[in-house]
């Protein structure tokens, strides 16, 4: 087996994905659509946080929101989003542990001609593979829930290094999980990613959601000013 050749194939695939991602990012920006990739492990609270964030965004502006719900199988999350009155498209990867550009483009085209102010991708529940794949988003964020433990920053460093913001979710569990060391999480995350924004939220109590929404609104304005 020629290992050198295998490496080159992988590099070509990644380069093609990166080029398609850059083109998609530019098209989305030109349409005025801000595209956010939301990554985390299964059960970290992605769908619940998205619903809370969208409610907060819509409470101030009559913005149009679309959500691409990626999952290995099933449309459970896409249905939850639809039930909340938000347009969504289910993207089943059929066992693939990450989302890449071909999938994003076909999911986006399933919305037809509709144009949104905000487009969210709920990525596959996985703290490993999605970090490597550019999905054409203007902004990549990750969630880490309190029950998962602060030390995931030590175990999955590429994900913490790949994102602009870390949203700690389920802060209502902090009193039940005293070994969740917020200071060490901050410290280690900032070593990996010095400009990382960190938010501490609970979709259950609403804590931290307004602050996070404020930041993401500012990021959208910043991105759209590039047009």
Binding site for Mg ion (CB under 5 A): 46-47, 77
Rounded Cα distance, 184 and 127, in Å = 19
* Closest distance of CB 6 from ligand GDP, Å: 33
Beta carbon nearer to ligand GDP, 20 or 65: 65
Query: Among ligand GDP, Mg ion, none, what binds residue 119 when CB lies within 5 to 8 Å by partner kind?
Result: none
Beta carbon nearer to ligand GDP, 47 or 135: 47
Query: Among ligand GDP, Mg ion, none, what binds residue 130 when CB lies within 5 to 8 Å by partner kind?
Result: none
Query: Among ligand GDP, Mg ion, none, what binds residue 44 when CB lies within 5 to 8 Å by partner kind?
Result: ligand GDP
Rounded Cα distance, 6 and 133, in Å = 18
* Closest distance of CB 80 from ligand GDP, Å: 8
Helix orientation angle between 46-60 and 76-83, rounded to the nearest 10 degrees:
20
Query: Among ligand GDP, Mg ion, none, what binds residue 193 when CB lies within 5 to 8 Å by partner kind?
Result: none
* Closest distance of CB 121 from Mg ion, Å: 12
Rounded alpha-carbon distances, angstroms, from residue 178 to 143, 146, 174, 182, 206: 19, 10, 6, 10, 21
Strand ranges, E, within the chain: 34-40, 65-71, 87-92, 118-125, 139-145, 165-169, 197-200
Number of H-type helices and E-type strands within the chain: 8, 7
85: Cβ–Cβ under 8 A, 6 or more apart, which residues?
none
The structure tokens listed for 162 are 């790949």
DSSP 71: E
Chain residues in the site for ligand GDP (CB under 6 A): 40, 42-48, 125, 169-170, 172-173, 202-204
Query: Among Mg ion, ligand GDP, none, what binds residue 48 when CB lies within 5 to 8 Å by partner kind?
Result: ligand GDP
Beta carbon nearer to ligand GDP, 125 or 130: 125
Query: Among Mg ion, ligand GDP, none, what binds residue 169 when CB lies within 5 to 8 Å by partner kind?
Result: ligand GDP
Rounded Cα distance, 203 and 132, in Å = 28
Rounded Cα distance, 165 and 152, in Å = 15
* Closest distance of CB 115 from ligand GDP, Å: 26
* Closest distance of CB 42 from Mg ion, Å: 8
């Amino acid at each position: 087996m020629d290992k050198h050749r295998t490496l080159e194939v992988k590099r070509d695939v990644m380069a093609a994905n990166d080029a398609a991602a850059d083109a998609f990012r530019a098209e989305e920006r030109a349409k005025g659509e801000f595209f956010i990739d939301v990554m985390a492990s299964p059960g970290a609270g992605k769908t619940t946080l998205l619903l809370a964030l969208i409610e907060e965004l819509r409470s101030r502006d009559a913005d149009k929101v679309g959500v691409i719900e990626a999952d290995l199988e099933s449309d459970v999350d896409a249905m939850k989003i639809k039930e909340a009155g938000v347009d969504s498209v289910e993207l089943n990867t059929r066992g693939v542990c990450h989302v890449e550009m071909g999938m994003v483009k076909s999911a986006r085209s399933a919305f037809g001609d509709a144009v949104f102010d905000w487009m969210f991708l709920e990525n596959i529940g996985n703290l490993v593979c999605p970090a490597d794949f550019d999905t054409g988003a203007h902004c990549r964020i990750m969630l880490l829930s309190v029950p998962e433990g602060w030390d995931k920053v030590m175990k999955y460093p590429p994900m913490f290094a790949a994102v602009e913001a870390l949203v700690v979710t389920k802060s209502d569990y902090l009193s039940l999980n005293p070994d969740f060391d917020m200071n060490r999480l901050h410290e280690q995350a900032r070593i990996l990613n010095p400009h990382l924004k960190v938010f501490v939220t609970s979709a259950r109590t609403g804590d931290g959601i307004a602050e996070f929404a404020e930041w993401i609104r500012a990021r959208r304005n910043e991105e759209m000013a590039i047009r």
